[in-house]
A and B are shown apart, each in its own frame.
Chain A
Amino acid sequence: MKVYPIGTAAHGSDLRFGARRGRSTTVTDVTIGTVIRSRLDTRSPEYQANLAAMQELWDGVAAELASVPTIGGQRYVDRHRRRGKMLVRERIEALVDPDTPFLELSPLAGWGTQDPVGVGSCTGIGIVEGVECAISGSDMTYRGGSGNPTSWKKGSRFHEIARENRLPVIVLNESAGADLPRQADLFIQGGASFKDLTQLSKMGIPSITMAFGPNTAGGAYTPGMSDYTVFVKERGTAYLGGPPLVKMAIDEIVDEETLGGADMHSRTSGLSDYLAVDELDAIRITRGIVRHLGWSKLGPGATEPDDPPLYDPAELLGCASADVRIPFDIREVLARLLDGSRFEEFKPLYGDKLVCGWGSIHGFPVGILGNNGILFSEEASKGAQFIQLCNKRDIPLAFLHNITGFMVGSKAEQGGIIRNGAKLINAVSNSTVPHFNLMVGASYGAGNYGMAGKAYNPRFIFSWPNHRVAVMGPKQLAGVMEIVARNAAAGRGMEVDEEALAAQTMGLESQIEHESTALFSTGRLWDDGIIHPADSRTVMGMALSAVHSNVVQGATEYGVWRH
């Protein structure tokens, strides 16, 4: 089998060629911002060493990604193909418009959990008949496409993305239902997926389900709750109980086709709206359905020139520190992320540890909040003000996380760090413009909250491979626990067993280190995927384009400001 480069380091810069039409790349004085001058010496040994370290981190991620498509095992992959079926990603390749991009979401979900890497499903955003759609498919080669706790989480996140961004949903279904031995962690919450589908329908977001194989038990409600269903002849089936269960329950002996075959559902029960001859035919029919949706986006779309940054986006790989303890200037990232490297910085002289300002990515205007150090009172209130401004102007916000937390200490406390931090959290909590998280470094402690982290419902979160996330850094956490242990021992008047404490501290540090990595984070759906830094413009562009499928509207009301 051919090995394809994973996450090609394709920098999404100026991709149109001279004679072809495209948005104007003429930069006039009406564009946002002025050009950032990079001070990064990409030939320096420091940069080169960091680049090499980042490459190594990425290689680790790429190796994990490469394992995902055949995670079910070669035997099951071959068996699937022997039956004349396509793998889930092959189906998606056939579904999307040729040569358009496909952004797979949470490809490494399940990493480091009991569930397989990728959790036996594939979700993403792709272009079908010119329409950005949320596309989801199950991988029949892993335990018969059955659902597990993490795949439910991934599916739930998928529905959330479809709902918030108003993306038509296409489901490529083939699933034996729930992975029964794991039902305890799945059954109760799992039912929400059917509620999600009908609520999407209520909101006018169409859903199309293709049945490529079995849709069993609860799984039968996936087609059941969809606006449109397409069943593949002699392949797609749907029934609440399979022949063995039917025999058990009512002593009826019946074959699969009579019980829930594609033909039966197309001619008799009416569950199937379209009968497809084969898999490709189902995909063809689905594309036809998308054509008739007459879908149009509600956001204003790209309004700025889409010219490449002055500095090579490929250098993003070496911009951020592989070791999150080493600070770097977030403006070097912006110089390679924003159109034309242009950035209009807001309050550059005030609260300079939080860089705020406006720019655009692939023509989509965006308000940037990027960390250049920890958050002090000034940074927090500056951020809160900036967020309100962007809400007044309906400009989406991108939070570039490289944050170890809020300032501590008596001076900070007396200066009202909690009061000012509360302003920032009030702002990010009640802001209604789309939020993006780009994890370019650490995201520790309340800094994660202040930067609109996962709990604050950003539309999309993407991480670079050097990303670390935890309540605090592993060393600090272990150190804090060591002090707590010493204090406790002192309180009880006991001698500290130095050796045991050292071992405990070291063990804790390495545990937290492991639990803070980008892979650990992405495995738990704390983000929507780890991306190659050089792909950031493409990924952010696709995410921005997706949010513009819905209205982009700022907030008018917030919680009480603690002035």
Chain B
Amino acid sequence: MSTITRLLIANRGEIAVRIARTAHRLGMSTVGVYSEPDANALHVDSVDVAVALGGATPAESYLRGDAIIAAAIATGADAIHPGYGFLAENAAFAQAVIDAGLVWVGPTPEQVTLLGDKVAAKRAALDAGVPTTSMIEVVDGRVDGEVTYPALVKAAAGGGGRGMRVVRSVDELDEAVAAASREALSAFGDGAVFIEPFLERGRHVEVQIMGDRHGNVVHLGERECSIQRRNQKVVEESPSAGISPEVRTALCDGAVALARHVGYEGAGTVEFMVGADETITFLEVNTRLQVEHPVTEAVTGLDLVELQLRVAAGEALPVAQDDIAVTGHAIEVRVVAEDPATGWMPSTGRIGRFSIGRHGSDPSCLVRVDTGVRDGAEISSDYDSLVAKVISHAPTRTEAARRLARALRDSQITGIRTNVDSLVALLGEADYLAANTPTAYLDEHPEVLTSIGPEGDDRVALLLGAVFALEADRRDVDGATPFAPSGWRNLRTQGQRQVWLEPTGEHLHVEYVMRPERLSDGSTRWAASAWLGPWPEPDEEGALTPDDRIERHVRLLDRRIDGAAIEIDGHRHNVGTEVVHHGIGLDDDGVGAVTVHTRSTAGALTVTRAPRFALHDAQAEGGGPICPLPGTVIAVHVSNGDSVADGQVLMVVEAMKMEHKIVAPSDAVVSEVRFAVGDRVDQGDLLVALDHGDTA
């Protein structure tokens, strides 16, 4: 028995914060570590003492095992918790920790080594009687056995889908084995591959196990993590809604059998694929705390980090299998800084505002949010894209999904793109609610990925929130006639007009005419007629196009510095707004841009004001398109000498988190592409010099 009084947490982000929470509850003090970009991160503020590791990349910081052990010794820590990722499944590091006389919170280095090799792990599983399909080993490129199709070729090392190939017939096999092996070698430094049956429409189900050094092993039920994109889990839940009680028993018993077989200590996860026909394939064992452990905590009421710390200190597991009951249903979603609509393109930058499920005053509405970020946090490309895990727990799966969706709608993460809108759409999608969720779920439901968030009048309310926030800002800076009603005219020919840009680049036109309404106490409340959509523009004949917009009757029941209560045709919407001015001045001359982050219980929407005027200087000289906003070139579609047509996309510039397509203003020949992918471009830069021929 050892006593842990000071725990070093060798990790960052949400998991470091989460481990510290339990450690503190158990009366321990904590030591954190941080890289240079993380010097002021939430996880560093969440520990008692923190030690600089230097550097920015993982290799320069969180993967420096020697520096971490030195930090533990220097700060008097007596144990190291590795979290997940980084050094969590590094047997050499585990051994070094133990050699340094510290407690290693995790399975023994031998167990880590054994189970880290998928082929060895599968052999152990087969030996232990774990239910699984067989495995065909590949020795020196030679397939050692009879393959049934479809089959899956997998790398023995690593994970994340790399070194993996589906083979449908025998003539594809050799090529697939060679390719998978090549890929595995380059990714993991180990080209070993093996073959197992491929389960069509399979589900990913895993069992949480926990063992101590006194020979006790329990399972804490299963988790289903089938919904994945590129083999990264997106939604995890417990229990699995897609397996029979018999399969559940087989999985849990098998997991415990395997743990006992290897004398497993600490927390681990035994992963399986379950086919539509209930065929079970053992995948691997993760010898660490999983990202998705909170769903297990929710349904069992146990604190897995506490159990880890207790068994690491040599205590016996405080719970026996019979004590463990699964209550209700828990769902976790991973909020990531990636844009599902653009193929999960990573989004980096500074978070403005971060809040999830703010209506948390009623405990029955609460969701659990595990995060390592807060307002102002920087999302860097050096680390993974996980922003937060949001976990709901309710008596039924449907209720858990609804509560989780509600919390996500009621969230706001500004400054970066996230998958929140997609998660909300997913949690309300029929197949999801019917638990029809094989691992191919996201491929089969692309509409979930392109969800735009709030729709209909919920979306209109958010847009109007932005419109009236900007309107109020503009009235506020009118030093000459602040007393006059907004946009007052004694001869009106048009309303007040604004054009906004959605994150997708779509233009949103709003026209409004405001009128003050006098209340009985003499004060004024604003009302407006509003029309959404493009206003009539002259057609080729010069006549205005028909106006099919519908007048919306809007009242601003309440206006605050951070939002408004907006009534649209008699329906009240409470909208929160935050106006961000980029650069000096208002939006008028394209000098600066205005972004408004809006939110309501229906969701969040960020819109940017389109500049009223374009800067034409370069074009005036016959040049070509100029950069609308400072940004980065992310695609170049033309080369010098190309003939381009009016409207053809020449280049794509990412600015303000939006992709701006740079198009040819007329038919022309490219005389010079002036920037390349990755180049920083400034507002007003001539991007592509064009020769229009006739303007010479």
Contacts and interface: CB of A to CB of B under 8 A. Distances in A.
A4 B588 contact: no
Interface in A1-47: 1-2, 4-23
**Chain A interface size, under 10 / 10 to 19 / 20 to 34 / 35 or more:** 35 or more
Contact of A99 (B496, B589, B614, B615): B496
Interface string A446-476: 0000000000000000000000000000000
Contacts of B142: none
Nearest to B519: A14
Contacts of B620: 233, 275, 277, 281
Interface string B474-497: 111111111111111111111111
Interface stretch (A145-153, A282-290, A319-327, A483-491): A282-290
Contacts of A363: 483
B45 to A, nearest CB: 31
B477 A130 contact: yes
A275 B556 CA distance: 43
Interface string A520-556: 0000000001011001011101100100000000000
A306 B482 CA distance: 10
Most chain B C-beta atoms within 10 Å of own C-beta, residue among A9, A23, A281, A314: A281
Nearest to B492: A4
A11 B493 CA distance: 19
Interface in A302-328: 302, 306-310, 312-314
A20 B588 CA distance: 22
Interface in B490-506: 490-498
B616 A14 contact: no
Interface stretch (A102-110, A197-205, A388-396): A102-110
B491 A308 contact: no
B99 to A, nearest CB: 62
A69 B586 CA distance: 30
B547 interface: yes
B486 A82 contact: no
Given A10-B515, A14-B522, A101 B487 contact: yes
Interface stretch (B28-36, B73-81, B537-545, B680-688): B537-545
Contact of B518 (A90, A100, A314): A314
Interface stretch (A73-81, A206-214, A239-247, A423-431): A73-81
A253 B69 CA distance: 92
A16 B482 contact: yes
A280 interface: yes
A332 interface: no
Interface string A179-197: 0000000000000000000
A132 interface: yes
B491 A68 contact: yes
Given A1-B547, A104-B490, A98 B477 contact: no
A334 to B, nearest CB: 16
A131 B479 CA distance: 8
B561 interface: yes
A545 B478 CA distance: 12
A233 B589 CA distance: 19
A59 interface: no
B350 interface: no
Contacts of B490: 7, 65, 103-104, 107, 529, 531-532, 535, 539
**Chain B interface size, under 10 / 10 to 19 / 20 to 34 / 35 or more:** 35 or more
B353 interface: no
A127 interface: yes
A101 B495 contact: no
B229 to A, nearest CB: 42
B526 A17 contact: yes
B2 interface: no
A4 B588 CA distance: 25
B559 interface: yes
B524 to A, nearest CB: 5
Given A233-B620, A284-B613, A93 B494 contact: yes
B174 to A, nearest CB: 63
A308 B489 contact: no
Given A20-B472, A127-B478, A104 B489 contact: yes
Given A12-B485, A17-B526, A308-B522, A4 B480 contact: no
Contact of B589 (A22, A77, A87, A284): A284
A1 B476 CA distance: 32
A82 to B, nearest CB: 3
A531 B488 CA distance: 13
A13 B524 contact: yes
Interface string A288-299: 100000000000
A79 B491 CA distance: 23
A129 B478 CA distance: 9
A319 B523 CA distance: 21
A89 interface: yes
Interface string A113-148: 000000000000001011110000000000000000
Most chain A C-beta atoms within 10 Å of own C-beta, residue among B485, B515, B540, B547: B485
B359 interface: no
Most chain A C-beta atoms within 10 Å of own C-beta, residue among B531, B542, B616: B542
A97 interface: yes
Given A5-B492, A130-B478, A541-B484, A99 B471 contact: yes
Contacts of A537: 483
A90 B489 CA distance: 13
B214 interface: no
A38 B404 CA distance: 58
A12 B540 CA distance: 41
Given A284-B614, A538-B488, 20 more contacts: A2-B531, A8-B485, A8-B492, A9-B515, A12-B484, A14-B523, A17-B556, A20-B472, A65-B491, A78-B541, A81-B543, A81-B544, A82-B541, A93-B497, A100-B481, A107-B490, A127-B480, A131-B480, A284-B589, A541-B481
14 contacts: A9-B515, A10-B516, A12-B516, A14-B522, A15-B475, A19-B560, A65-B491, A78-B541, A78-B543, A104-B490, A130-B479, A308-B524, A312-B518, A539-B490
